[in-house]
Amino acid sequence: MSLQAGIVGLPNVGKSTLFNAVSNSAKAQASNYRFCTIEPNVGLVNVPDERMTKLAELVKPERIVPTQLEIVDIAGLVRGASKGEGLGNKFLGNIKEVDAIIHVIRCFEDDNVLREEGAINPVSDKEIIDTELQLKDLEAVERKLQRSEKMAKTDPKAKAEVEILQQCKTHLEQGKSIRGLDLSKEERVAIADLFLLTEKPVLYVANVDEASMHTGNKYSEALAAAAKEEGAQVIVMCNNIEAQIAEMEAEEDKQMFMEEYKMTEPALNRLIQSAYKLLQLDTYFTAGVQEVRAWTIHHGWKAPQAAGVIHTDFERGFIKAEVIAYEDFVKYGSEAACRDNGRLRIEGKEYIVKDGDVMHFRFNV
C-alpha cells in the first residue's frame, strides 16, 4: 500500500529541514533561499509504534519490521501560485499526487532566515496557501461545471453533478476548502476525477524556536485557534532540534540530547503517528519467532483485504483468520497462553480488522 503525505508551505518555513528529520531513506537540500526544492523529494518513514516493541519483548523474534509511510517534500508555494507564479502550476501538480497534506508554518522570529511576507503571521501564511489551493480547485470545478451543464440537458446524471459542482463552486468562492463541505460519499463521486487539492486532509506543523518547543508561543497559539475552526490538528515542534536528533546514529546519543532538552521522545513521533491517522490507516501485527511485523490497512477493511496486504494469494484463497487482541496478547504473554485462555478467535470473511489485532491467516490456493 503506497500512500503519501506531502509537506507544503511558503518558502523558508522549514519544510526540507522537517523532511530531512523525518525521512530515513532520503535527504533534501535545505537552504535559505527561494525554491531551494524544485523536484519533490520522496522518503520512506518508519511509523513509531510502542506496541511493536512490547510484542517483540514477548515473542523475541529474529527481526522487527515496522510499517512505513511515504513523505514528499514539495517546493515552497508563493502568492499567485494558482496563476503559475513561482513555478506554481508544477508545485500544485505535485500536491495533487499526495493523499494528505502536512502544512509547515513558521512560528519563530529569526532575522537570518529570509521571509518575503513581512512580519511573522502564521494565520496569514496559512491563508495564503489556502487561497492558492482554493483558486486552483475553483478553476477545475468551473471547467467541469461548464461541461456538465451542457450534458445536463439530456443526461440526468450530469444534472445531479451540476448541483454538486455548484455547491463546490459557491463554497470555494467563499474562501472555504472542500474538505469542510458536508458532501456524502456518493456526492463526492462527482468530483473524484478532479483530485481537488482542498479536499485532502491536512495537518499543521507549527515550526517554533527552541525556547517555545515545549510550551508553544503566541504564533503557534494563533495558528492552533485558526486550525480549530476547521477541525485540524496542530503539532508544535522545533524542526532544527528534530533534525539534529535524526542525524545522530547512536541511540545513547539521542537519549542524552533529548534529556538535555527535557524531551521524552522526538516530536517527530507524534507527527508521523498523526499523519498516519490522518490518512485513516490502521495497523495489524503478525508475531512469530522469525519476525514481528506491522502491516498497514485502511480503517474498516475486512479480514481478506488485510490478508491481501501480505500477499494477493492470502486474499484470493482466504479461509479464516486467527485473531488475538493486542491487549490480550500482552496480558497473557504469548499466543499459546491466549489460546489456552480462550482469547484466540477464529474470524471469517466479514470480520472488520481492529487496530492492533495480532493475526494469522488460513488460506488455500
Long-range CB pairs of 216-220, under 8 A, 24+ apart, other chains included: 216/107, 217/107, 217/108, 219/106, 219/107, 219/108, 219/120, 219/122, 220/107, 220/122
For residue 194, the Cα-to-chain-centroid distance in whole angstroms is: 20
Query: For residue 337, what are the CA distances in angstroms to 58, 293, 357?
Result: 12, 20, 16
All cell numbers assigned to 323? 485473531
The answer on whether 13 is annotated among ligand-binding residues is yes
Number of C-alpha atoms within 13 angstroms, CB side, residue 201?
Answer: 18
* Residue 86, annotated as binding a ligand: no
Look-up of cell digits 527561494? 34
Cα–Cα distance for residue pair 350/336, rounded to 1 Å: 25
Could you tell me which residues are beta bridge partners of residue 360? 322
**Residue 32: all three cell numbers together:** 535559505
Distance from C-alpha of 355 to C-alpha of 357, rounded to nearest angstrom = 6
| CA–CA gap between residue 240 and residue 218 (Å, rounded) | 19
The C-alpha atoms of residue 152 and residue 141 are separated, in whole angstroms, by 16
When computed from its CA atoms, the radius of gyration of the chain, rounded to whole angstroms, is 23
* C-alpha cell, 310: 501480505
331 is annotated as contributing to ligand binding: no
12 marked as part of a ligand binding site: yes
Long-range contacts of 29-35 (CB under 8 A, 24+ apart): 32/112, 32/113, 32/114, 33/114, 34/76, 34/78, 34/86, 34/114, 34/116, 35/11, 35/75, 35/76, 35/86, 35/87
| CA pair distance 296, 284, nearest whole angstrom | 7
Check whether 14 is labelled as a binding-site residue. yes
Instruction: Tell me whether strands 4-8 and 100-106 are parallel, antiparallel or unpaired.
Output: parallel
Output the known binding site.
Answer: 12-17
Output the known binding site for ATP.
Answer: 12-17
